[in-house]
Amino acid sequence: MQTSQQTPDDTLEEHEIILGTGMGPLKFGATRDEVRQLMGEPEEIEESDEEDEFEHQAWNYLDQGYSLYFDREDDYRLSCIETDYPAMRLFGESIHGKSVEEIQDLMRRNNVEDPEVEKMDTGEMRLSYEDQMIDLYFDEGELQFVNFGVFIDDDMEVQWPA
């Protein structure tokens, strides 16, 4: 039996997206200080514009392929992650570069159905699973990045992971 070598950066759990919970050690509900301890200082911090529906900060770790979002309404706790990290995984499978059909099949096999599909003006495609709070973005038929967040119930209450 042949085993593959893994580099420390490609540990499976570290880059596993857990819907409603976070990614690896990054858990929704974490404070900015907790995130800083895990990730270090962000390369840049963006503040939301006045026109934005929700006031937030986006911490960008461009070299690592992450943007982390903290909403003022939620006491600036981690509520959303956007990543294009090549080793990202979902339901135990590597997903970067997969086709729309492959992602839809993966979601179906894990009882996640009824996506909304939108073709963007720029030519990209967005596959959204609203109940699971995940948007997957494709360019030229391949998954490029994922945006996912903490679950919100029917009463618009945030469901922080335990």
Chain-centroid distance of CA 79 in Å reads 10
- What residue segments make up the domains of the chain, in order of their start? 8-150
User: Considering Cα of 141, then 60, then 11, then 31, what sign does the dihedral take?
Assistant: negative
Nearest to 45 by CA among 57, 27, 54: 57
Judge residue 37's burial from the number of C-beta atoms within 10 Å of its C-beta, 0-12 exposed, 13-18 middle, 19 or more buried: exposed
d(CA 72, CA 76) in angstroms, rounded, equals: 5
Burial of 38 (0-12, 13-18, 19+ CB in 10 A): middle
**How far is it, in rounded angstroms, from Cα 68 to Cα 73?**
15
Tens of pLDDT along the chain (162 residues)? 333 333 334 455 788 999 999 999 999 999 999 999 999 999 999 998 776 677 889 999 998 899 999 998 899 999 999 999 999 999 999 999 999 999 999 999 999 999 999 998 888 999 999 999 999 999 999 999 999 999 999 898 999 998
Look up the CATH number of domain 8-150. 2.60.460
Contact 147, 81 (CB under 8 A): yes
Does this model's pTM top 0.85? My answer is yes
Residues with Cβ within 8 Å of residue 129, at least 6 apart in sequence: 107, 112, 114, 115, 116
